Amino acid sequence: MKRRLRRPVQALVATAALTAAMVTAVSPAQADANPYQRGPEPTEQSVTAERGPFATSTVGVPAGSGTGFNRGTIYYPTDTSQGTFGAIAVIPGFTGPESSIAWFGPHLASHGFVVMTLTTSSGWDFPASRTNQLLAALDYLTGKSAVRDRIDATRLGVMGHSMGGGGSLGAAAKRPAIQAAVPLTPWHLDKTWNEVRVPTMIIGAEADTTASVGSHSERFYASLTNASDRAYLELESAGHLVPISYTPTIAKYSLSWLKRFVDNDTRYDRFLCPAPQPSSLISEYRDTCPHS
């Protein structure tokens, strides 16, 4: 019996060795092709989770630390073994405190980004002011912050809620070198954004009565005719304030968009393309799949 099993066992060992050699040979090439890839292989569970695989820490940014913005909080991965990370600035909406968008800080940082959440100069700042504050925050992150050495200044993104979402559209228009923008139930008086070339995902809410999708999100998306890539996600039966607390659907799609375009991590394409179908969570989704 032992003799009869010997050849199959030898063949199995040889196959395993060949497989290991192939993995060893392919992995460096994959890493070279995507030098900004951070973290393990993503799964449906990981992209919808409130926390990712990276341990994080925070540093406060008191008023007067930089010019052009008020104050904020920086969240960052503590891991220094994987090189630098992309950075994201996030700003709240009209009269909204920093706490209203604070969950994006630890969420995105734990997935491999340096994130700065902002307290606005005034709760009543209109989108144009929030645009300038977002850009000033990015400049501070990459130029003066205590974590600037952890950031790749060529890989930056912006997010914002409500008028902050309008501000993120303005930031994408004003600084086309930004890699990605994610306006959340955005509000803006300007409805035409054909000057934006930055990959932009707009997240709207079907039951939003403050920035109705028909007057805001859908019109913004339709006008993004020159964006290199764009997507529109409309949350089923949701209201204007849905982005201010952790929501698995927002977590999944905003993270995937930022990973895909700030980190050029094509592993996240499968969560964006093909487009998700309408469901109890998503009333509508539009896109430019496959991504350029």
Catalytic (active-site) positions: 162, 208, 240
DSSP E strand boundaries for 179-259: 180-184, 200-205, 230-235
Q: Residue 135: which of 198, 193, 78 has the closest Cα? A: 198
The label of the residue with tokens 């994201």 reads 88
**Residue reference for tokens 């993120």:** 168
Q: Sign of dihedral through CA atoms 269, 273, 277, 282?
A: positive
Alpha carbons 268 and 39: distance in angstroms, whole number: 12
DSSP 120-151: -S-TT--HHHHHHHHHHHHHHHHHTSTTGGGE
| DSSP type of residue 241 | T
Three-state secondary structure call for residue 92: coil
Structure tokens at 289: 């799949």
